[in-house]
Amino acid sequence: MKELLWAIVVGILAFSLYTGDAPVTRDEGASGGMFATLAPEVGATDKTADEWYDEGFTLWFADQYEEASIAFSKAIELNPRHVEALNLRAWMYYMLDRYEEAHADYTTIITMGSVGQDDLLLAFEERANLLKWMDLYAEAIADYTQAIELAPDKTRNYVSRGQLFERLEQYQEAIADFDAALLLEPDDERTQMYRAEALEKLAAAGE
């Protein structure tokens, strides 16, 4: 069951990365919705790391991001190698605009060693997205490059890196990334549009 839930989480985070949606802060988001009555109190001290993680997961779905980050922190205190808790605590910090703390958690996963490839890939992707929101484009490009090396069949990372190259007015590199993405998904209209825009800018720049 936990493996299924984590697969759903990865899918949600990957979708938000690919669409480029801005993080929604607690003030901007919903106030609980259908999960509000399920959110438990953060306060018990006799729980296991996995129980704290499960509590944080429930709080996240209730849009209680601060409380979720506290629960994930409890899990990490008990098990510093709890990758799922680190990843989701980073996401909570991201949602709360606490970017430096989110960056630290992603970096912990990346430098931890003996981390599964899927977890490592997600950490590079999420840190790249975070760096993009911090306007640190060169650093974000480096992380997208690491993600591409780990999973060269993931279209979203070519597209995301290509968009950053375009912002840096490196149009030839951007077009190359959009071309790579279109080799994987030839009918993706969004990528086709990005490529056309980059070609127009390249022509206007006279390169």
Has residue 37 been placed in a domain? yes
30 and 92 together in one domain: yes
C-alpha closest to that of 126 among 142, 102, 148, 96: 102
Could you tell me the CA-to-CA distances from 97 to 23, 82, 119, 122, 160 in Å, in that order? 8, 23, 22, 19, 21
For residue range 90-132, what is the model confidence (pLDDT) as tens digits? Answer: 999 999 999 999 999 999 999 998 899 999 999 999 999 999 9
For residue range 31-53, what is the model confidence (pLDDT) as tens digits? Answer: 344 334 344 454 556 899 999 99
Distance CA 43, CA 188 (A): 47
In sequence order, the 6+-apart residues with CB closer than 8 A to the CB of 145 are 161
Has residue 186 been placed in a domain? yes
Indicate the number of domains in the chain: 2
Distance CA 56, CA 86 (A): 11
Q: Per-residue pLDDT for 16 more than 90? A: no
User: Residue 190 belongs to what domain range?
Assistant: 152-207
**Terminal CA-CA length for the chain:** 54
Has residue 108 been placed in a domain? yes
Q: Per-residue pLDDT for 4 more than 60? A: no
